[in-house]
Structure 1
């Protein structure tokens, strides 16, 4: 297969940076949403649940097109961001990060929600009895108990972002060095005559990153469970 080229390393870097930044955007909101869906009762909870999981069941290309309609240069939100703040998300690295965050969000919420449902209410009440505020009880009692689920959700979201293709190419395009992630690079090489060797190298990089993420997840979950 030969040595890995600069373009292939570039695709790896774009993938990791996009997925990692998307994860940083996703996790705080996923933690809040997962806890709310598990523990709170409020009007519109079912609608929120449906909205959260919609990216999980939509075709990726449809998700990308929906983002393009809303946040593209002529979209209702995209035009406001552009004219008021000079921010353009479509066909940019930031747009690829947004796709990564949106596509991984449902998986993170699901894992966090399950872990939040397993936090016993009597432990929270005991913390409140000892003088903790609701936020203090959450930080000192619930959060440590939820840690394995949070780690699992983060890894699932990161892995989902790494493998995203349809929504990324629709909303962010395939721009070398900016939005061309490993899946997009693999697709591009497969379209080129004689690109099979490059495609195999990109495939090897993709599998290596995926395996590394799974191994790291297993180690982190075990450590969190022991604690």
Structure 2
């Protein structure tokens, strides 16, 4: 591993994380919307299952994904038949790992935002002739925008730092599946401390800037609320 390889894990990590963060936000919004507005038996159990990747060791999550999407499972066989290639040990597997491990944070943040929306405002929109999509688009989403931004940034940074599940299901193939966390591990293991520091500084800078944006946005929004 040399300095010529410095940019490859960064590019791959950003590619994986951007795609995963968009996908997990779409899923998180619709799942949180449904769970926030519904009551059914077993809801607590389902929500507990949603939160499991937050507390399980990443290697356990990776092992379960490997069993679920591997070439011996019917899902893995179907994906391989559909795309003419297995999903495991590909950069798409890294996307799946990032989505799964970041979903609990994204879902919980969005759910809190949706629960904080005043139901009377939604009912007022319905009484004025708005359909459910219009209520969601023009009332619920704008009023929960702070939580949505927080959810995206938390999901992005969590996916960017994912290591264990990615290593299990995507492997550590330089130029194909080697993300920043796995590259740092290999660099340290092989004695390339300066390269490990460079990658560590990169991931620290990205994460710091993302979290800083969340804090500034929250303060600005809070100041605007107080001024009203």
Q: Separation in 1 of the partners of 2:176 and 2:217?
A: 30
User: Normalising to structure 2: TM-score of the pair?
Assistant: 0.91
Query: Equivalent residue of 1:95, what SS?
Result: helix
Change (3 A) 1:223 1:169: same
Q: Separation in 2 of the partners of 1:164 and 1:200?
A: 18
Find the counterpart in structure 1 of residue 152 from structure 2: 154
Change (3 A) 1:39 1:71: same
RMSD value, Cα: 1.8
- In the TM superposition, what are the counterparts of 1:96-135 in structure 2 within 5 Å? 96-135=94-133
| Partner residue of 1:17 out of 15, 40, 47 | 15
Find the counterpart in structure 2 of residue 216 from structure 1: 213
| Partner residue of 2:187 out of 180, 186, 189 | 189
Q: Separation in 1 of the partners of 2:75 and 2:134?
A: 37
Query: Equivalent residue of 1:73, what SS?
Result: coil
Deviation at 1:84, TM superposition (A): 4.2
Q: Separation in 1 of the partners of 2:39 and 2:4?
A: 52
Deviation at 1:13, TM superposition (A): 1.1
> Which digits, 9 at most, give the CA deviation of each residue in 1:163-194, with x for residues without a partner?
1100000110011122111110110001113x
CA contact (8 A) 1:8 1:185 kept: no
Find the counterpart in structure 2 of residue 202 from structure 1: 199
| Partner residue of 1:63 out of 56, 61, 64 | 61
Deviation at 1:83, TM superposition (A): 2.6
After superposing the two structures, state which structure 1 stretch, 87-96 or 164-173, moved more. 87-96
Deviation at 1:58, TM superposition (A): 1.0
User: Normalising to structure 1: TM-score of the pair?
Assistant: 0.92
Query: Equivalent residue of 2:87, what SS?
Result: coil
Matched, 1:42 2:40: yes
In structure 1, the gaps of 5 or more residues are none
> Which digits, 9 at most, give the CA deviation of each residue in 1:80-111, with x for residues without a partner?
22134424210001110111111111100000
Change (3 A) 1:84 1:14: closer
CA contact (8 A) 1:147 1:224 kept: no
After superposing the two structures, state which structure 1 stretch, 106-115 or 34-43, moved more. 34-43
CA contact (8 A) 1:159 1:210 kept: yes
> Which digits, 9 at most, give the CA deviation of each residue in 1:16-66, with x for residues without a partner?
111111011111110011122222113432232122111111110000010
Q: Separation in 1 of the partners of 2:142 and 2:85?
A: 38
In structure 2, the gaps of 5 or more residues are none
